[in-house]
Amino acid sequence: MNNTTGKVFWKKPLTYLLLLAGAVGALLGERLIFQTSNSPENSSQLTQLSVTQSLGKTDKISDSEKSAWLPVRAPIPNSNFIVDAVQKVGPAVVRINASRNVSQRPNIFGRGIPEGFYGFESPRSRNGPVERGTGSGFIISSDGNILTNAHVVEGSTIVEVVLKDGRRFPGQVLGTDSVTDVAVVKIDTNSLPTVSLGNSNNLQPGEWAIAIGNPLGLDNSVTVGIISATGRSSNDVGVPDKRVGFIQTDAAINPGNSGGPLLNKNGEVIGINTAIIDGAQGLGFAIPINNAQQIARQLIKVGKVEHAYLGIAMQTLTAELKQELNRNFNTNMFSEQGVLVMQVVPGSPADQSGLQPGDIIQKIDKQTIISSENVQQIVQKKTVGSLLELEIKRNGQNLNFQVRTGNLPSQLRG
């Protein structure tokens, strides 16, 4: 009895010790394998070993068997949509060096814009009468048509285009349009990289915006932001002589960026980078590419652009304006909304059609008018010679007029 009990007494602890030792060994083995498997030089050996054991083999497995069993590792991303867009468009972005006589420098956007804003050197800092500046542009056709801003090349005597690969070409200005600040430059070569043009009609605030250009001569610089707003009128931006519904962005646009492309997340051009408001921070503006395309086609074809024209000075009718007019001119404004005709240019289409100062435009082609921007947008979409149906209010009476648009006179183009 005692001997049997003694055998049982010694067997159980020994069994427990063996089990405990096995568990500790397994744990240490797993820890060792885990640490070793994190070592890149050992990962392939361990993978091969585990595959071999799974197949029940002791010899080396074939490559086909290995490929069938090896786990697929997800690739580490080394780019993003911004990198992709820049790589796609970058080769088609150019630097434009322009020289012009000081006396030929155009009055671009009126007073208040700093002299060095557009990247042109101040003539006071040079001994001669020639000023030189740098802007940007982008290639829209493989045979050398380049889109840029009018103010970059307007009045220039010499234009040089520098490609990203370092090649330099003399540029020929096919035409400029100061009303929209769009120009086309041609270089004599072929097989050039080109941009892809997007659609600027349906842009939404909050979309990504990528600007590429040559600010301060730093070629192919990239800035990123979002679309802050669309349809900013020329009055909003402080350039009332322009006919553009600007794209507003917070992507940095600096001197020398003018004429460069504004891209969407897909690397498509949605605008031409242009002016900023003097003194503002974090605000940039671009000309919508759909508008720029229409202008570019005319410049390439005939070297100039026609703009529909009515010949009126106008102001949005507001409650404050009504009170001021009623108080100062002893009038009685019967309309709650519309656009007040402040002045009619003698001999203009509006004058020939019978419009008078004091008329309130309420509808054009059955579209309700609530602001002067509405009138501008409708007219600028028309071709010269188009017939417009106007509904106005004069002294409390509703009247209808037909106005056939004319071509904007050159002296009114800024």
For residues 302 and 251, give the distance between their C-alpha atoms in angstroms, rounded to a whole number.
34
For residues 273 and 246, give the distance between their C-alpha atoms in angstroms, rounded to a whole number.
10
Type of residue numbered 67: S
State yes or no: is 307 an active-site residue.
no
Radius of gyration of the chain, Cα coordinates, nearest whole angstrom = 35
State yes or no: is 63 an active-site residue.
no
Question: Catalytic pick from 258, 359, 371, 372?
Answer: 258
State yes or no: is 258 an active-site residue.
yes
Question: Catalytic pick from 181, 221, 307, 372?
Answer: 181
Question: Catalytic pick from 136, 151, 178, 221?
Answer: 151
Q: Taking CA 47 as the corner, what is the angle to CA 43 and CA 51, rounded to the nearest 5 degrees? A: 175
Those residues whose C-beta lies under 8 Å from the C-beta of residue 54, and which sit 6 or more positions away, are 69
For residues 147 and 272, give the distance between their C-alpha atoms in angstroms, rounded to a whole number.
8
Residues carrying an active site annotation: 151, 181, 258
